[in-house]
Amino acid sequence: QVVGGKVKKPGKRGRKPAKIDLKAKLERSRQSARECRARKKLRYQYLEELVSSRERAICALREELDMYKQWCVAMDQGKIPSEIKALLTGEEQGKAQQNSTKLAKAGKTEANSSNP
């Protein structure tokens, strides 16, 4: 066969394998394996850190849940835990401060609008 001025032999199609030095090929393979192991190690480290952080979060949430359960048991017995009292008084103080701030602002705007 003559194609484009070149004589082609019938048989395999595509590129012929280049004469690659066997030692260089083995070294590339070793390097690729080293890189693969390093990536795998990093991936496992990341996953372990993720798991440990989630476990810490779970422990904190369980402690919080236990605290709320204890509060409920105490309230069922007719006792109000000091933490809830503190929260309620803190909210009441916060509401009182917000109301006084609103009244003060309203007074200032009325004073400014009445003075021409």
Residue 109 domain-assigned? no
Say how far apart CA 106 and CA 109 lie, in whole Å: 5
Domains held by the chain: number: 1
Tens digit of pLDDT at every position of the chain (116 positions): 555 656 666 666 666 556 668 888 899 999 999 999 999 999 999 999 999 999 999 999 999 999 999 999 999 998 888 888 888 888 766 666 666 666 666 655 555 555 54
Say how far apart CA 13 and CA 20 lie, in whole Å: 20
What is residue 63's predicted lDDT score, i.e. its pLDDT? Answer: 97
Residue 36 domain-assigned? yes
What is residue 90's predicted lDDT score, i.e. its pLDDT? Answer: 83
What is residue 116's predicted lDDT score, i.e. its pLDDT? Answer: 46
Residue 116 domain-assigned? no
Name the residue range of residue 50's domain.
22-87
